[in-house]
Amino acid sequence: MKIIVTGASGFIGRVLVEKLLNEGNIVFPIIRAKTNKNFITPEITDYYEDDGDDDKLLKFIKRSNCDGVIHLASYFMVTHKTGDITPLINSNVHFPTRIIDASCKANIEWFLNIGTFWEHMNHHTYLPVNLYAATKKAFEVISKFYIEHNNIKFITVKLNDTYGPNDSRNKIINLWLDIAKHGTLLKMSPGQQMIDIVHVEDVVNALILSVKRFYKNDFNRERFEVYSILSKRKYSLRNLAQIFETSTGKNLNIKWGALPYRNNEIMNPYCPFDLVPEWEQKISIENGFHQLGQELF
Range of the structural domain that residue 65 is part of: 2-162+196-228
Residues 115, 178: one domain?
Answer: no
Do 148 and 269 reside in the same domain of the chain?
Answer: no
If phi over 0 gives left and psi between -120 and 50 gives alpha, with beta otherwise, what is residue 224?
A: left
To which H or E segment does residue 294 belong?
Answer: helix 285-296
Based on the domain organization, do 246 and 146 belong to the same domain? no
The domain boundary residue, chosen from 187, 208, 228? 228
Same domain (yes/no): 187, 289:
yes
> Is 201 in the same domain as 180?
no
Please indicate, yes or no, whether residues 58 and 31 belong to a single structural domain of this protein.
yes
Q: Count CB-CB contacts under 10 A for residue 83.
A: 7
Query: Across the strands, what pairs with 197?
Result: 161
Task: Please indicate, yes or no, whether the overall pTM of this predicted structure exceeds 0.85.
Answer: yes
Domain count, the chain: 2
The CATH code of the domain that includes 279 is: 3.90.25.10
| 83 in the same domain as 23 | yes
Q: Cα-flanking dihedrals φ and ψ of residue 3, to 5°?
A: -135, 130
Tell me: pLDDT of 35 over 90. Answer: no
The string over 224-237, giving b where at least 16 C-beta atoms fall within 10 Å of a residue's C-beta and e elsewhere, is ebbbbbbbeebbbb
Cβ partners under 8 Å of residue 269, min gap 6: 117, 160, 161, 194, 195, 196, 234
Same domain, 116 and 78: yes
156 and 258 within one domain:
no
Residues 130-182: tens digit of each pLDDT: 999 999 999 999 999 999 999 999 999 999 999 999 998 999 999 999 999 99
Q: What is the pLDDT of residue 40?
A: 83
- DSSP summary character for residue 262: P
Identify the residue with better confidence: 58 or 218: 58
Do residues 11 and 132 share a domain? yes
pLDDT digits (tens, 9 = 90+) for 212-269: 999 998 898 777 899 999 999 999 999 999 999 999 999 999 999 999 999 889 999 9
